[in-house]
């Protein structure tokens, strides 16, 4: 066990954020630990990680997820768009996801291209929560066109979209 803020965090409770700097990982773990009891402090921890390393993709994921969960959909949309842009930059693909073509994105599931696709799925979900079904469907259609529905869990969001009037 290790000390994390004022609480003990078991090692098996830690989230695997992949290859990030130890300082960024510590901030992200702190944010995760804080989220259930102090959402504002969790947000600050994640934003500190983003400020330290704006190229650390897991930080965008943490931020857009917590804001989506809290219903801060404008904020989650902005963060997801920023994360998508950073992932596209790192993957060497067009920042405009509508221009992506099959074969543009490397199939490495731990790479920035996969993160870009995963974040496009998140954008579909955020658009659904914002009652923007047509925008959500465009994201889902692109994921399907790229053959990535199953690799990023897009079929789950597609099923949700099918049930939205």
For the chain, list the domains and their CATH numbers: 15-162 (1.25.40.10)
Question: Hey, which residues does 3 pair with through a beta bridge?
Answer: 8
CB distance 131 to 160 below 8 Å: no
Weakly modelled stretches of the chain, pLDDT under 50: 1-12
Q: What is the pLDDT of residue 164?
A: 61
SS3 content of the chain, % helix, strand, coil (to 5): 65, 5, 30
Q: What's the pLDDT at 116?
A: 97
User: What pLDDT is recorded for position 4?
Assistant: 43
User: What's the confidence (pLDDT) of residue 13?
Assistant: 59
CB 141 within 8 Å of CB 158: no
Instruction: Please report, for residues 8, 22, 97, 140, the alpha-carbon distance to residue 67 in angstroms, rounded to integers and kept in the order given.
Output: 25, 24, 22, 21
User: What is the pLDDT, as a whole number, of residue 7?
Assistant: 44
**Which secondary-structure segment (H or E) carries 8?**
strand 7-9
Residue 108 is predicted with a pLDDT of: 76
**Amino acid 11: pLDDT:** 45
CA–CA dist 98, 15 (Å, integer): 32
In contact, 112 and 119? CB cutoff 8 Å: no
Question: Which structure tokens are listed for 33?
Answer: 């630990």
Q: What CA–CA distances, in Å, run from 142 to 17, 75, 84, 100, 146?
A: 26, 23, 14, 8, 6
What's the pLDDT at 142? 97
H helices present in the chain, as ranges: 22-35, 39-52, 57-69, 73-91, 112-129, 133-145, 149-152, 154-162
């Amino acid at each position: 066990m290790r000390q994390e803020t004022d609480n003990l965090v078991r090692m098996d409770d830690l989230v695997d954020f992949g290859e990030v700097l130890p300082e960024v990982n510590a901030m992200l773990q702190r944010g995760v630990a804080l989220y259930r009891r102090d959402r504002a402090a969790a947000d600050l921890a994640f934003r500190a990680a983003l400020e330290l390393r704006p190229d650390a993709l897991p930080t965008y994921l943490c931020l857009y997820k917590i804001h989506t969960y809290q219903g801060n959909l404008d904020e989650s949309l902005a963060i997801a768009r920023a994360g998508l842009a950073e992932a596209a930059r790192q993957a060497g693909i067009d920042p405009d996801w509508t221009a992506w073509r099959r074969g543009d994105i490397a199939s490495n599931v731990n790479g920035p291209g996969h993160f870009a696709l995963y974040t496009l799925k998140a954008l579909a979900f955020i658009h659904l929560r914002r009652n923007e079904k047509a925008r959500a469907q465009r994201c889902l259609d692109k994921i399907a066109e790229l053959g990535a529905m199953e690799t990023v869990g897009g079929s789950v969001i597609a099923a949700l979209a099918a049930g939205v009037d």
